Structure 1
Amino acid sequence: MKALARQYDIASKTVRRLLDAAGAHSVPDDLSVPLDGDDQDHVADHQEQLPADPVVVVDVPGLVAEHLAGIADLAVRQALEDGQVIRRGQGYSVRVSAPLTVHRAMIEHSVTALMESPAGRKAHRIHSDRVTAVRITV
């Protein structure tokens, strides 16, 4: 519980209250043992509740956004046009709210062209890391 409290920057008592409210009083000693049939159905039901292509928000580095502005993929261009420009020091980012598949398409479209310069490689890596790190919440 202390590790969860540190990770989410909350009090450990808050973690305890949340676990109690969720009915998570105990954890099996061996987590590698597969769940029994009833729990598998519950897990399958929970997975069905997740959206197939969730909409997530990712800050796209300006260099990546500039490269993607002229591509043929209409969904990517529309997402970038609808995004909010955020100025930071010398550079900028575009905060894009789009389905996860659109963000992955952005990465695929930008990989070859951005690998030609160190700044391009860094921008691509940052964007890729941000998309990978997105947490899908329901």
Structure 2
Amino acid sequence: MEANIVNEIILSNCFFTYFNMSAWAYTAGVLEDNKVRLKRHFDLMNTNQIDPFNALVLAKGRHKTDPQNYRGLGTRTDKKERGRLAELFYLQAENGKGINKAVVDIAIQEYHVKLANLALKEAKSKLK
């Protein structure tokens, strides 16, 4: 087997940890009432691809606020990481075309925009 394929399989298997599964399950729950998007969400797993999550792209996914030693999306176990992954899975379910660099970048940005909006809302509530 070619070295690149072996590395791809290893990365793909490492991606789906318990922590990442929680973001996957959360997104499935959010999509429960939208059968079309829920099907797209589950179709990502039902593919014949070796690496349906595109672990190489996820490993390069980062935000400008991430520390230098950040290893990419899906490698940490904190709530920020799960939030970013939930955004990724939700966005992927919108079009069902899989995970690529653009989808990863947008999902990370979506997470931070929502976080900033929540902080703004909280700050405004203190003005009243």
Fold shared, TM-score > 0.5 on shorter chain? no
The interval holding the TM-score normalised by the smaller chain is under 0.3
The structure with the largest alpha-carbon Rg is 1
Greater RCO (CA < 8 Å, at least 6 residues apart): 2
TM-score, L = length of structure 1: 0.22
TM-score, L = length of structure 2: 0.24
More helix by share: 2
